[in-house]
A and B are shown apart, each in its own frame.
Chain A
Amino acid sequence: MKRLVLPIFLVVALFVTTGFAQNLTLGFTASNTGAMNVDSLEQKRGFELWRDQVNAAGGIKAGGKSYKVQFVSYDDESNPKRVQQLYSRLILQDKADFLFSPYSSSLTATAAIVTEQYEKIMLTTGAAEGKTYTLGNHYLFQMFTPGAEYLKGVLDMLKTKDPKAAIAFVYEDASFSVSVVNPAKEYAQKLGFNVAFSEAYAPNTTDFSAIIDKVIASKSTILLGGGHYADGSTLAKQLYEHKVQLKMITLLVAPDSDKWTELGDAAVGVIVPSQWEPQSAFKPQYGPSGADFAKAYTAKFNAPPSYESAGGYASGLILQRAIEQAGSTDSAKVAAALNATDITTFYGRSKFATEANQHGLQVGHAMVLAQWQKDKSGKLVKQVVWPLAAKSANLVYPIH
């Protein structure tokens, strides 16, 4: 028996000194099916790449322990009712330690009700609508620049090209696009533009003929709007088929996806306000560089990252850093570390508002504008055209 004491002591001591690699459960839903599936898939891939890289590096190290990240994830079918059920399940049944948001503002707003109720931290990405952060939440932290900022850059840029342009706002009747367009309309009027037409369409719209006829009748030369991938890509396709002679088309979200190239000539010239582009050359204080992220992402998924992918990965990074700073996985301590976060990663700066009336709102991150252009070989490429300091190509204006 005495002979066994020493080996047992050594084994126990080894575990104690190195620490058991514990598991940290992160829960989220993704829209594997339904209208949001394209953008949601890219966000999910961002989460997955972060998890794989963190685990390959030995996990998250906090308070002398290492935590291996494991995901619990379900398909929310792009359906708010499913989100409500599944976030409850993630917290109560799957015992998730932290949560990521689903994709889209409306699904995230639903999930936030559940996560706040159980005082669970949720990093939201792919969810720009700002209203959710005015409701007195304490555990919600936004990674995207809020919706009110999305179209300001486009209008500033347009002011330099065509200060009297007639603008049509055609947008999805959903919380995100409404939160983008309403302040943009006010800003356009303030800048002296003529808002010639404005109409919201139902989220499941597939036939835009009537709205396109109205845009033509309004004699607008600029179209701003859209919503998500399904409606935005259909709108762009039908604008092209109807040969609408617009000088500029800017659509939310949809043109950021690599799938946009499937539209062929209908894709050319369309601008998207973007949270991040591979050309964005931020000097990271934490985590990989933009080039390393893009390279690893492309190698893993055989497709270039979109800003949804970058947002997904960056959510993991920011949470990882907060856990490390807190030295604990305790929600209150990690929330305090997130409140104190002000850091630049490959994704840009991240800082959360701490005032009670907008707690968790993203106040550090800035957006760029990207336009689909044809390169010399005729291949469709996305170029950063605004702000001028970050541009990778000149804006093509007018497109018709």
Chain B
Amino acid sequence: MSGILASMIDGLLIGSVYGLAAMGLSLIWGVMDVINLTHGSVIALGMFGMYILFAAFPVNAYFLLLPILVAGLLLGLVIYWISVHWVIGRSQLSSLLSTFAVNMMIIGIGTAIWSTSPYNVNFTLRGFTVGAYTFTGNHIAAATAAVIIALALELFLYRTRPGKAIRAVADNREAAELMGISSTMVLALAFAIGIALAASSGALVSTLFPFTILSGAGYQMKSFVVTVLAGLGKPLGALAAGVLLGLLEGAVTPFIAVSWIPLIEFGLFVVVLVAFPKGIFTRATA
């Protein structure tokens, strides 16, 4: 197997997790017009959630995603009522500042509890080897879990009444309210789902790499790139864009130093913002 192919498979696997992380940001941004700056710290909380649960219940770590998703939903509701509900409909700067404040609170509390020292979830699944290259079981399981969660969200949004209500509010909040949909409940639900997605992506990352309470920041930045690539409010698009970003990383790294990757990613971010402001998966409309 060639080095580039191996590198692209690695990129594909980690890209799925980037995609899942970005889905949460994209959903909240698309439905509520809120740029959620608690995203990174919630990803880190997902990491520590997995760490705590796995220490208490040393089963297959990927089974623990379910309680983390539920805890994420509850946390999302709490954050919504603390910092978001009051600024809905105001300028984006208000929600940026209020979610940033909550972000700082989470990081402050997290630092007090866990310090900024690295933690590990010591769980390993057997991988497979092709020639000199080995793909770890954890990467494969994390990518699979990310795709399953993404598909479940898509089904929820398109096949269930609450899901359809979220899309309706995203399209036209006033029209949705005229149809009897409580936009407050729907917005709270959408925010909670976004937070749960971020937490679950953090939990998946924790099975791959060591982490600290500050580790979410890097994934938050990648989530911005992915969200801009995919366009707002397109969960499956975010997953696809995440995979694309991972593949791009995989294809480029054999030829340049890894430390150049952020430059390329954010270069792409600017190019897409200028050339495809609605994302690369949205056709230009007249």
Contact = CB atoms under 8 A, between A and B. Distances in A.
A298 to B, nearest CB: 23
Nearest to A198: B257
Contacts of A206: 209-211, 215
A238 B206 CA distance: 14
Given A201-B258, A206-B210, A207-B208, A213 B253 contact: yes
A216 B254 contact: no
A245 B131 CA distance: 11
Interface in A207-244: 207, 209-211, 213-214, 216-217, 230, 233-234, 241-244
A260 to B, nearest CB: 13
B201 to A, nearest CB: 14
B6 interface: yes
A173 interface: yes
A389 interface: no
Contacts of B118: 35, 230
Nearest to A79: B116
Contacts of A242: 133-134, 136
- Best-buried of B117, B129, B208 by chain A (most CB within 10 Å): B117
Interface in A341-397: none
Given A206-B215, A234-B210, A213 B14 contact: no
B132 interface: yes
Nearest to B7: A213
B267 interface: no
Chain A, interface residues (CB within 8 Å), range: 20 to 34
Contacts of B208: 207
Interface in A127-152: none
A37 B118 CA distance: 9
A199 interface: yes
Nearest to A216: B132
B58 interface: no
Given A32-B115, A214-B254, A243 B215 contact: no
Chain B, interface residues (CB within 8 Å), range: 35 or more
Interface string B181-202: 0000000000000000000000
A199 B257 contact: yes
A33 B115 contact: yes
Contacts, number: 83
B3 interface: yes
A306 interface: no
Given A200-B257, A201-B258, A234-B210, A209 B117 contact: no
Nearest to A241: B136
A156 interface: no
A239 B218 CA distance: 23
B209 A217 contact: no
A33 B249 contact: no
Contact of A230 (B7, B210, B218): B210
Interface string A25-64: 0000000111101100000000000000000000000000
A241 B134 contact: yes
B282 interface: no
A210 B259 contact: no
A77 interface: yes
A214 B111 CA distance: 35
A34 B6 contact: no
A202 interface: yes
B259 A77 contact: no
A257 interface: no
Interface string B102-143: 000000000100011110000010010100111010110000
A210 B249 contact: yes
A211 B115 contact: no
A78 interface: yes
B260 to A, nearest CB: 11
A27 to B, nearest CB: 22
A34 B257 contact: no
B129 A214 contact: no
B58 to A, nearest CB: 15
Contacts of A202: 258-259
A209 B10 contact: yes
B7 A210 contact: yes
B254 A207 contact: no
B227 to A, nearest CB: 21
Nearest to A242: B134
Interface in A258-276: none
Given A34-B116, A37-B115, A243-B129, A213 B259 contact: no
30 contacts: A33-B116, A34-B117, A35-B117, A37-B115, A37-B117, A173-B259, A202-B258, A205-B258, A206-B210, A206-B215, A207-B14, A210-B249, A210-B250, A210-B254, A210-B258, A213-B7, A213-B133, A214-B7, A214-B253, A214-B254, A216-B3, A216-B6, A216-B132, A216-B133, A234-B209, A241-B136, A242-B133, A242-B134, A242-B136, A245-B132
Interface of A: 32-35, 37-38, 77-78, 173, 199-202, 204-207, 209-211, 213-214, 216-217, 230, 233-234, 241-245
Nearest 7 Cβ contacts at the A-B interface: A217-B3, A206-B209, A33-B115, A210-B253, A209-B10, A243-B134, A213-B7
Given A34-B117, A214-B7, A230-B210, 12 more contacts: A35-B116, A199-B257, A206-B215, A209-B139, A210-B11, A210-B249, A213-B253, A214-B254, A217-B2, A217-B254, A241-B124, A242-B136
